[in-house]
Amino acid sequence: MAKVPLLVDTDIFIDYFNAGLLRTVLESDEFEIYYSVVTKKELLSKPGLKASEREAILATLKRCRIIPLTERIAAAYSDLRHKHMSLEKEDALIASTALVRGLPLVTRNWKHYKGVEGLTLFRGGS
């Protein structure tokens, strides 16, 4: 059976690391977990990040698939920023990644993305 592909937002990884939330998704063989290069940057740039936390983040991300910034994602990002000026830069890059790759986005920050046309959202966490 084919795995279900999902793009996971940074907040979902943070909830996973802090409280083990969505473990059934992130550790399941049923899902192919993708993340944006922006998510990696956000996770690893946390102020005061301990070496053990960094290692745990990198080990988890190694089990997932990174999506690098491409020209198509950059163009979609530019369009999104013009249409949704209130959308934060990082959120616009993550949304652009989901749109270009045709992936549903799992996020707890529903309100950040709800106005983005064509974006499929799954609510994660509490």
In the chain, the amino acid numbered 40 is K
pLDDT the model gives residue 126:
55
pTM of the model: 0.93
pLDDT the model gives residue 125:
62
pLDDT the model gives residue 123:
86
Per-10-residue mean pLDDT of the chain, 126 residues long, equals 94 94 92 97 95 96 97 98 94 98 96 93 78
Q: Chain centroid to CA 55: how far?
A: 19
Instruction: Supply the CATH number for residue 14's domain.
Output: 3.40.50.1010
pLDDT the model gives residue 1:
77
pLDDT the model gives residue 29:
93
Domain of residue 12, residue span:
4-123
Q: What share of the chain is helix, strand, coil (3-state, %, to 5)?
A: 50, 15, 35
